[in-house]
Amino acid sequence: MEALKNKQLKPLAGMTLNDLRKVTADLGMPRFVATQLAQWIYGKRAGSFEEMHNISKANRELLARQYRVGLEPPASAQRSADGTVKFLFAVGDDKAVESVYIPEDDRATLCISSQKGCRMNCYFCQTGRQGFHGNLTANQIINQVLSVPETHSLTNVVFMGMGEPTDNVDNVLKVIEILTSDWGLGWSPKRVTVSSVGSKIGLKEIVEKTSVHIALSVHNAIPDERLQMMPVEKPFPVKQVLEMLGKYDFAHQRRLSIEYIMWQWFNDDIRHAEALREIIPNEHVRVNLIRYHMIPGIPKLRTSSDERMAQFRDYLNSHGVTCTIRRSRGEDIEAACGMLAGKVSDANAEADAKKKKQ
């Protein structure tokens, strides 16, 4: 009963410093208590008010009557043979999302989720096949960063997990503020990357309000072919999205990259490489080629061969476009690109089952 009551209290983790100042002001506390709360939650990852020993006992008790810290450990973890770890986080309504920890040399990257499911409905994506079950709150997003066992060793965060970050732009912007502010984690914006399929309105807001890296999921530069796989091509043609992004400065510390999953005989020949090169706005954009990771229900898609991926890469590099082939991580635990699912249902599978019964 006590645990249920605590869950109903509003979490402080996920609040900005201004939010915390409002909380403390409403409770009649000195202004500096908000800064102390931020230091304990974001700097020290304190999970309870009892740990915050430089805040008076009376103020801690007052906070605990109306709020909770809001840091919740992952419900489970799976470790890959390559060292990648997939974490499952409960996010209410019997739903869960996944985050992926990727250690590599001197980097430790956490791939985090921003939505329960996704409404972009990309044909090749396990998350997209589930349908949309709601936005994650700022608390549920930042909790993924603060509550993994490796939290203090993280060097980078990428919004490349479940969901489309630009479709939950307000909460994503709040989390970016927490990650990059002195009162939060104090990270440089270049340690944060936001991935998008090209939902132009939210993407424009993130580009203009932050200095984080941007990764655009293109996967095919030929409009009618891209539309077959990515419905977002209809309202926001990728050529127009790249034209918009080309107007911003990605020549210095900030980076714009193109993500390109390669499917055998569908988007992996030189004709597709030429089409991609033609819509890249300038020489500062780099391309990451990604092997396709098979998911249930889509048997006709196969990843490109190493030879065809190398030919695609070499063509772009020889024409002035920096292009690399990204190493796959965590495929054996379904933690690789496009494979995250959590415990939300596969909406498409449910719909198919209903049709068969009718």
Which residues touch 330 (CB under 8 Å, ≥6 apart)?
80, 82, 84, 86, 100, 102, 336
Per-residue 3-state assignment (H helix, E strand, C coil) for 64-118: HHHEECCCCCCCEEEECCCCCEEEEEECCCCCEEEEEEEEECCEEEEECCCEEEC
Continuous H helices in 264-346: 270-279, 306-318
164 carries an active-site annotation: no
- Which tokens belong to 118? 């996704």
The active-site residue, picked from 111, 118, 323, 337, is: 337
Look up 337 and say whether it is catalytic: yes
In our burial notation (b when 16+ CB lie closer than 10 A, e otherwise), range 157-168 reads: bbbbbbbbbbbb
Instruction: Determine how many CB atoms are found less than 10 A away from the CB of residue 307.
Output: 8
Closest CA to 73 of 55, 36, 99: 99
- Out of 98, 164, 233, 259, pick the active-site residue: 98
d(CA 118, CA 165): 10
Distance of CA 275 to the CA centre of its chain: 27
Q: Specify the DSSP class assigned to residue 287.
A: E
Active site residue ranges: 98, 337
